[in-house]
Structure 1
Amino acid sequence: MKKVLLIGVVIALATTMVGLGVHAQFQDTEAASTTWKAGKLDLKVNGGDRPIDIIIEKCLKPGDEGPCFGYTYCLTNEGCVSGELDLTDIVVTEDENCLIEPEAEAGDTTPDAGELGEHIKIRLTLKSSLWGSPKLIYEGLLKDIQPHYDVDEMLPQHDYDFIIEGWWWPQSSTDSQAMTDVVKLSMKFQLQQLPD
């Protein structure tokens, strides 16, 4: 009986060993992952991210005007998302810079408020790389410019537009009130993604 039991165990062991040897299989495993990366709007003004200061002239007089093609701000969307361009936070800051005798004789009674913004006219236009003719944003006295303009033009990814700023000082009977005055125009260019 022992012999029969021993033969049974040997046969069971042999069958198991043969089964393991025959049961070999090929195996290959691959992995997959999903990554989401947010796009960006990256507006550059004249190639950078810093504010641009343009000092027009230091000795303006009635009859002066800016260069023929104006001062140009090149706005570039270096991002991968298209956006709509707007002008925001437009501020005109006047400085009397001292009230001198000819100003007072011309009727200037405001020693703390400049009048140059009442004399300088400005024209802001948008020239896109996508169409030929410029789009007028604002033309008029500097003092009357609004704080915000919806330009309502797309600035596609990796494309550029130009904001052109022209100015002139038409002669008037109150020009002497603006002697020695200083006026500053500040504005921000905003690029915003449109909702789908």
Structure 2
Amino acid sequence: MSIKKKLAMGIATGALAVSMIGGGTYAYFSDTETSTNTFKAGTLDLALNPTEIINVDNIKPGDWMNRSFTLKNDGSLDIAKVLLDTDYVVTDANGDNVEDFGQHIRVNFMWNPDKNASGIWLDNVIYNTTLAELKGMTPDAVANKIFIPYFEERGGLKAGDSDTLGVQFEFVENNADQNEFQGDSLQLTWKFEAKQGKGVAK
């Protein structure tokens, strides 16, 4: 056999051996598992009943009005705060107003008995505050400043829970001439904004 043939056969044999070795590296056991994962966001859904808390006419200085309303958490997430934003529009019937009618309508109290079973006025949502003053405030309607275990709920509104609040309005008699408000009307808008709590480990 010639040297060329021997050399060619050697190269072919070597290539076959390498291909067999290479092919062998792909022969192994295997097992596969697939992980399917889901992230679903919860919901904040605050319900107010009734949506019109007060509608009264023919009032005079010294009159007061008691009303109640319910805040309910219809969402899947707990609510940490329900902030109350106040706005109003005054219609001046005679065009003679010098003062703001909102300075003469006062919220004597807004009380959440679920969060303030003791009735301590310091723990009221609102105490002795005019509508004009409330425009610059955002009180928390479901807060509990003085928590008394076994008698009160902690602050916030858990999913599916509800709080019924009582409120008293008064057209304040200031022992002065208030004739400028005769025939006037005030349209009050209260916006309740639910806020989530802090994130937690899940």
TM-score normalised by the chain length of structure 2: 0.62
Moved more, 54-63 or 179-188: 54-63
1:145 equivalent among 134, 142, 148: 134
**Does structure 1 retain, via aligned residues, the 8 Å contact 2:112–2:125?**
no
What residue number does 1:40 align with? Answer: 43
- SS for the counterpart of 2:64 is coil
Query: Using the alignment, how far apart are the partners of 2:36 and 2:115 within structure 1?
Result: 39
Contact 2:88 2:186 in 1 (8 A): yes
User: Which of 159, 174, 190 matches 1:187?
Assistant: 190
Q: Percent same amino acid at aligned positions?
A: 22
Partner residue in 1 for 2:55? 56
Q: Which runs of 5+ in 2 are unaligned?
A: 1-32, 144-154
Q: Could you say which residue in structure 2 is the equivalent of 1:127?
A: 112
> Given that residues 96 and 114 in structure 1 are in contact (C-alpha distance below 8 angstroms), is that contact kept between their aligned partners in structure 2?
no
Partner of 2:89: 93
Residue equivalent to 2:68: 72
Instruction: Confirm or deny: 8 A CA contact 2:85 2:137 kept in the other structure.
Output: yes
Q: Give the structure 2 partner of residue 168 of structure 1.
A: 170
Cα distance in 2 for residues equivalent to 1:144 and 1:181: 19
Distance of 2:115 and 2:167 partners within structure 1: 19
Q: Give me the whole-angstrom Cα distance separating, in 2, the residues matched to 1:40 and 1:96.
A: 42
When the two structures are aligned, how many residues end up with a matched partner?
149
User: How big is the shift at 1:165?
Assistant: 2.2
Q: Cα deviations across residues 104-149 of structure 1 (Å, max 9, x unaligned)?
A: xxxxx44xx7743232211342415355245322222222213442
Alpha-carbon distance, 1:55 to partner: 4.6
Coordinate RMSD, CA, aligned: 2.7
**Aligned position for 1:13:** none
Distance 2:34 2:113 in 1: 46
Alignment deviations for residues 145-186 of structure 1 (CA, whole Å, 9 cap, x no partner): 134424143111111123332111232212212111111221
Equivalent-residue separation in structure 2 for 1:55 and 1:76 (angstroms): 19
Partner of residue 16, structure 1: none
- Unaligned stretches of 5+ in structure 1? 1-29, 100-108
CA contact (8 A) 1:96 1:181 kept: yes
Structure 1 Cα separation of the partners of residues 112 and 84 of structure 2: 18
* Alpha-carbon distance change, 162 to 149 in structure 1, aligned in 2, over 3 angstroms: farther
Secondary structure of the structure 2 residue equivalent to 1:149: coil
